[in-house]
């Protein structure tokens, strides 16, 4: 069995650990062959691949990014309202390369593409990857825990300068549709105001929260903003929020945009083990001939769900999330 592995969409810690999990399980346990496809689906269009072996899949466990490279190539994207011949070029190239199946490591867009290839009869397995943790069907995707660790460390550090200067520090974290990073790092980092794309906010309520903290003797505040929150301003949402806070409270307010730092560096031990477990499970599915599914992590168990159930769905934070409820009970403002 010759397995093709590709990584698509935004990079994140844990991708290389997943590649390692697939390769080492495939080669050592099932005596399969593994082929690395460069730059996501672009690599299949251009037959840009490399053989992977036990040696090339070593040293990947703690390495950030993806050694295969990635892209946001969408083969099913219509041009002038028409599907192009890219999907069929890819299917033919898979045959020319002797690939028996495909493991697609990626986020929502990648799993949607994988689902379309599955419908065309391509033996394919998806492994969920994103720092946003917004992929439906899995409790967590690898990359998320690493991003939350990075963001939480940043929030911890902002407390020093906030308390020293008696300022409001606004930090913008990633998550353009789902506020999971803001929620988890905001709660772990002791955010006083946590703004999520899924929940509406009012400047008045944020102002009242900050002023009430001052009345209680807490002369600084930490505001955690997901990049996807509603933004009536021109620039970044954090800049708009900071400007409104300073104008309505008269307190010095500063902004930190964490950006791509959340996607860099070595995966946490949790993400390394989640990646390893998902990579190994995907290879077991191949051995059993189980295709057209995405590997998932639910209640600390690894299993799979049909790609058709995942495609096009987002996992968003809801008002009844227990971290949101607990935060509100503790006096944290969610907007
Ligand atoms: O989907 C992961 C993510 O990091 C989002 O949080 C962020 O908004 C987006 O990717 C950035 O996309 P790009 O890497 O293409 O700039």
pLDDT tens over the chain, length 335 residues: 999 999 999 999 999 999 999 999 999 999 999 999 999 999 999 999 999 998 888 999 999 999 999 999 999 999 999 999 999 999 999 999 999 999 999 999 999 999 999 999 999 999 999 999 999 999 999 999 999 999 999 999 999 999 999 999 999 999 999 999 999 999 999 999 999 999 999 999 999 999 999 999 999 999 999 999 999 988 999 999 999 999 999 999 999 999 999 999 999 999 999 999 999 999 999 999 999 999 999 999 999 999 999 988 999 999 999 999 999 999 999 99
Provide the pLDDT for residue 137: 97
Provide the pLDDT for residue 312: 86
Ligand 1 pocket member 218 (CB < 6 A): no
- Closest atom of ligand 1 to 176 CA is 8
Ligand 1 pocket member 327 (CB < 6 A): no
Provide the pLDDT for residue 241: 98
Question: Are the CB atoms for 43 and 97 separated by under 8 Å?
Answer: no
Among candidates 199, 65, 201, 61, which has minimal Cα distance to 131? 65
Domain ranges in the chain are 2-143+267-310, 147-263
Provide the pLDDT for residue 39: 98
CA of 55 to the centre of ligand 1 (A): 31
- Closest atom of ligand 1 to 263 CA is 4
| Separation between Cα atoms, residue 254 and residue 237, nearest integer Å | 13
CATH class given for the domain over 2-143+267-310: alpha beta
CATH class given for the domain over 147-263: alpha beta
Among candidates 138, 134, 148, 174, which has minimal Cα distance to 270? 148
Distances (CA, A) of 287 to 16, 19, 307: 21, 17, 18
Question: Are the CB atoms for 265 and 64 separated by under 8 Å?
Answer: yes
Hey, which residues are catalytic here?
Answer: 132
Nearest CA, atom 8, ligand 1: 176
Partners of residue 7 on adjacent β-strands? 105
CA of 47 to the centre of ligand 1 (A): 26
Provide the pLDDT for residue 149: 98
Provide the pLDDT for residue 311: 87
Provide the pLDDT for residue 203: 98
Domains 2-143+267-310 and 147-263 share a fold: yes
- Closest atom of ligand 1 to 262 CA is 4
Nearest CA, atom 11, ligand 1: 10
| Separation between Cα atoms, residue 6 and residue 206, nearest integer Å | 44
Nearest CA, atom 3, ligand 1: 10
- Closest atom of ligand 1 to 134 CA is 1
Nearest CA, atom 15, ligand 1: 10
- What count of Cα atoms within 13 Å lies in the side-chain half-sphere of residue 329? 7
Provide the pLDDT for residue 103: 98
Distant-in-sequence, close-in-space partners of 132: CB < 8 Å, separation ≥ 6: 107, 141, 144, 174, 175, 176, 177, 178, 180, 181
Ligand 1 pocket member 130 (CB < 6 A): yes
Candidates 148, 174, 226: which one to mutate for ligand 1, based on the most atoms within 8 Å of Cβ? 174
CA of 70 to the centre of ligand 1 (A): 13
């Amino acid at each position: 069995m010759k397995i093709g592995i590709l990584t698509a969409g935004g990079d994140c810690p844990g991708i290389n650990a997943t590649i390692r999990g697939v390769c080492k399980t495939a080669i050592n346990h099932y005596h399969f062959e593994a082929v690395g496809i460069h730059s996501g689906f672009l690599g299949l269009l251009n037959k840009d691949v490399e053989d992977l072996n036990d040696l090339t899949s070593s040293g990947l466990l703690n390495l950030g990014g993806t050694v295969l490279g990635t892209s946001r190539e969408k083969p099913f994207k219509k041009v002038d309202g028409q599907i192009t011949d890219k999907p069929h070029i890819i299917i033919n190239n898979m045959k020319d390369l002797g690939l028996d199946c495909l493991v697609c490591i990626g986020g929502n867009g990648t799993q949607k593409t994988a689902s379309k290839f599955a419908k065309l009869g391509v033996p394919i397995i998806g492994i969920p990857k994103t720092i946003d943790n917004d992929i439906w069907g899995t409790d967590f995707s690898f990359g998320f825990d690493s991003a939350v660790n990075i963001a939480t460390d940043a929030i911890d550090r902002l407390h020093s300068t906030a308390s020293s200067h008696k300022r409001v520090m606004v930090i913008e974290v990633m998550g353009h549709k789902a506020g999971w990073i803001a929620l988890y790092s905001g709660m772990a980092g002791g955010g006083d105001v946590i703004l999520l794309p899924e929940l509406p906010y009012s400047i008045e309520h944020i102002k009242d929260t900050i002023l009430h903290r001052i009345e209680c003797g807490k002369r600084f505040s930490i505001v955690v903003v997901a990049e996807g929150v509603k933004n009536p301003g021109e620039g970044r949402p954090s800049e708009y929020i900071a400007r409104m806070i300073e104008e309505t409270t008269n307190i010095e307010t500063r902004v930190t945009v964490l950006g791509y730092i959340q996607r860099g560096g070595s995966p946490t031990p949790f993400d390394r083990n989640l990646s390893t477990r998902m990579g190994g499970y995907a290879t077991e599915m191949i051995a059993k001939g189980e295709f057209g599914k995405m590997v998932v992590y639910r209640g600390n168990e690894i299993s799979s769900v049909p790609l058709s159930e995942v495609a096009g769905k987002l996992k968003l934070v809801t008002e009844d999330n227990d971290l949101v409820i607990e935060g509100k009970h503790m006096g944290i403002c969610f907007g």
